[in-house]
Amino acid sequence: MQDAAAALLAWYDQHARQMPWRIPPHSPQRPDPYRIWLSEVMLQQTTVAAVRSYFDRFTTRWPTVSALAQAQDAAVMAEWAGLGYYARARNLLKCARMVQALGGFPTTYAGLLGLPGIGPYTAAAIAAIAFNEPATVVDGNVERVIARLFNVSTPLPKAKPELAALAKTLTPQHRPGDYAQAVMDLGATLCTPRNPACGLCPLRRFCAAHAVGTQADLPRRSPKPEKPTRLGLLWLARHPDGRWLVEQRPETGLLGGTIGFPGNGWDSKSPHQTAPITANWQDIGQVHHTFTHFHAALTVLVATTSAQPDHGMFQPVNPDDLPSLMRKAHNLAAPALLQR
């Protein structure tokens, strides 16, 4: 199947997507491992379109891994707000500080795996793209391409080891970084989940699924269990001077390390069983948010008060710095409180 890899690289030379973290094919410039690592962490569970502006802001504010390593935790968490999966931001700082202590990124897949927050996929992407190691990169796009190329009918997630092994047979010794980006681009632009553009695909003549007409049905997936819905409360107290009652969430768990409003019922780590402050609380409705494993439906209670809280503190809040769930609650509460 090395002919398939060569055909894919030839296609990539003409059709590579332009990304702010990428170096074009055949450029004499070497990819920056910091920018590759940062982009790959941001792209976990997030679309390219959503990541671009965050990446630009991060690299403008912290242009090197050393600059990021010296950043304040709160500043990084605030800049991350809206990207979700906040454990990524915590690990981003841990990793940057370890890389600074090491004097630079490890240059091998095995070495990269030892860094906080870097798993097999991210390690392979950095090793291949930044350091030209023939490591095999397998994400959702690659799994789809490989399932169709080899007509693999085993459903995901059971098929993952089989697809990874098949993907490895295609990874070339020459230009492995460009190949990794090429196969991801193919899955994102032509070999899409629905209505794959087989007529434009450089791998069509190699594709076993296309030969028998099963490409639109692959990869197969095992049925997902239905997500449960958790009910809970959020208390949004506003001081007469405009500050909001907020608290620092625990470092581990949902929205870890971020600033948020007190609540209960939806998160096992919440310390509150009752309202965090004595006030005339009023129910103004619900906010809804979907996490990886559950839906949250939270009743928002609001009050204006200058009473001293048992937990947390009153401080100014920029809604753009809040996680999406907390921003939804703020946007619901602010008009109701400002009308008082």
276-302 per-position pLDDT tens digit: 888 999 999 999 999 888 999 999 999
Q: Quote the pLDDT of residue 197.
A: 97
**Cβ-contact 288, 297 below 8 angstroms:** yes
Q: Quote the pLDDT of residue 177.
A: 96
Tokens, residue 57: 């802001």
Task: Report the share of the chain in percent with pLDDT over 70.
Answer: 98
The domains of the chain, with CATH numbers, are: 2-217 (1.10.340.30), 229-338 (3.90.79.10)
Would you name the residues annotated as active-site residues?
A: 40
CA distance 80 to 323: 8
Q: Quote the pLDDT of residue 256.
A: 81
Q: Calculate the average pLDDT of the chain.
A: 92
Q: Mean pLDDT across the stretch 40-64?
A: 93
Whether residue 219 is preceded by a cis peptide bond, meaning omega within 30 degrees of 0, is yes
The pTM of the whole model exceeds 0.85: no
The per-residue pLDDT for range 35-47, each reduced to its tens digit, is 999 999 999 888 8
Q: Mean pLDDT across the stretch 122-130?
A: 97
The per-residue pLDDT for range 240-281, each reduced to its tens digit, is 999 999 998 887 778 888 889 999 888 866 666 788 888 999
CA distance 105 to 96: 9
Side-chain half-sphere exposure of 66, counting CA atoms within 13 A: 4
The per-residue pLDDT for range 176-215, each reduced to its tens digit, is 999 999 999 999 999 999 999 999 999 999 999 999 999 9
